[in-house]
Amino acid sequence: MNRSGFITIFVLITFIICLTVCYFTIEIMSTQTLIQLSYRDKIQSEMLSESKILRLLEDESYFDSMLVPLIHKYFNNPSGPRSFKVKFEENMDELDTYKEVEVIFLKEGNKQLMQLNTKTIYKGFTSFITSKASIINYLFEVDKNPLITYGLSDETDKLLEDYFNYLGDNISTDSLSGGIKGVYTYDHNVVKIGKGMNNLKKITKIRNGVESYETFDRDVFLLMKNKLNTPIELIIEDNIDFRGILYIEGDLIINSDLDFKGIIILKGADSNIVVDDSLILDTSKKPKIFGIVLTDGNSISSEFIDIRYESGYIYRYGIYLPGFLQPKIELIKIS
C-alpha cells in the first residue's frame, strides 16, 4: 500500500471514529435532555397535586366554600357518611383536567383529622397525594380537658389570651343555620333562661327594669356582650335541658338542676359560675355540662358543677364560633 492510500484509510477511520463519538455524544445529550424534561414533568405533576391540597386548606375562599359545608354536615351527623368528594370548578393547569378531591373524616388520639386524597395526570405522569390535617383549634382538644382556663401551661395561656381577644372582636350570631336560635343581648343587667309555653325555653332580658322575651326549642347561641363594663348575669332558673353556645361577658348563675350540652365561654377577669347552695348540698342535683368551658376569669370547682368533655357537642356547636376551625397540615405523602 502506498503512502497516499494509507493516509486516506487513516483519515477515513478517524472520521468514522469522530462521527461515532459525535453520534453517541448527541444521543447521550438527547437522552439526558429527555430525562430532565421527564423529571421536570414528574415534579410538575407532583406540584400540581400538592397545590390542590394547599389551595383547599390554606386559601380561605376555597376552604370556606368547599370544605366548611362538609365539616358542618359531618359534625351535625357524625354517624353518617365519613367520606365525601369535592370538585374544583377550574383546572389547576390546562394539561391537568383531574379536579376531584376525596375528603375523609377520622380521629387520631384527641384530634379530629381530615384526610384529603387526590391525583394529577400531567403529560403522561400520574401523581397521587394523601394528606392529613387537623382542623380544630388546639384549645378545644387539648388533653380532652373540659375546663380551659389560665394556668394549664404557658402555651395554653398565650393561646387562650389571643383567642379571647379574637372572639371579642369577631363573635356574632349572624349567618346561623336554621337548626340553632341566635339571641344577642347588649348590656342587659340580667338575662334569665327558664321554661316557657308549649315545651319551649324562654329567655328573659332585663335592662333597667324593662323586660323583653325570646323563645327557643332546644339549640341556642346566646351572645351576652358587656360594653359598658357593668355587672351582668345569666341566671338559669328552671330544671331544663338545652344545647348550644353560651358566651357571657359576666357571671353564670345556676339555680336549677341544669343539663347543658355544648360550649360555655366566660369572658372577663371577674367572670365566674355561681351555683345555688341547695344544689351543692344535694349531689344528685349537681348541674351538668357536657362539652367544654372556656374562662379567662376564676377557676371552677368540680365540687359545685359536673363538667365532662364531650367532643361530639363541642364539634357540633363549635363550628358557629369564629376561629374554631383552624386547618393545619400534619402529613403530606406523594406517590
For the stretch 185-213, pLDDT in tens is 988 889 999 998 988 999 999 988 899 99
The pLDDT assigned to 2 comes to: 57
> What cell numbers appear for 252 in the block?
353564670
Distance of CA 310 to the CA centre of its chain: 17
Closest CA to 149 of 275, 273, 312: 273
Q: At residue 16, does pLDDT exceed 90?
A: no
**What is the mean pLDDT of the segment spanning 253-263?**
89
Q: Is the pLDDT of residue 223 over 80?
A: yes
Angle between helices 68-76 and 311-318 (to 10 degrees): 140
106's grid cell: 377520622
Mean pLDDT, the chain, integer: 85
Report the residue count for the chain: 335
CB 49 within 8 A of CB 128: yes
Sequence-separated (6 or more) residues with CB below 8 Å from residue 153: none
Task: Pick left, alpha or beta for residue 198 (phi over 0 → left; psi -120 to 50 → alpha; otherwise beta).
Answer: left
Q: What integer is the mean pLDDT of 282-296?
A: 83
CA 50 and chain centroid, separation? 20
Q: Residues near 20 by Cβ (< 8 Å), separated by ≥ 6?
A: none
> What DSSP element (H or E) covers 162?
helix 154-170
Cell of 115: 384526610
What would the pLDDT profile of 44-53 be if each residue is shown by its tens digit? Answer: 667 778 888 9
Rounded (5°) CA angle 171-208-251:
45
pLDDT band of 227, cuts 50, 70, 90: confident
Please say if the pLDDT value at position 76 is more than 80. yes
pLDDT, tens only, 62-75: 999 999 999 999 99
Q: Are 214 and 183 in contact (CB under 8 A)?
A: yes
Residue 104 makes CB contacts below 8 A (sequence gap 6+) with 82, 83, 84, 114, 115, 116, 117
- Asked if pLDDT for residue 177 goes beyond 90, the answer is no
Contact between 119 and 129 (Cβ < 8 Å): yes
Average pLDDT (97-118) is: 92
Amino acid at 185: T
φ, ψ for residue 28 (rounded to 5)? -65, -45
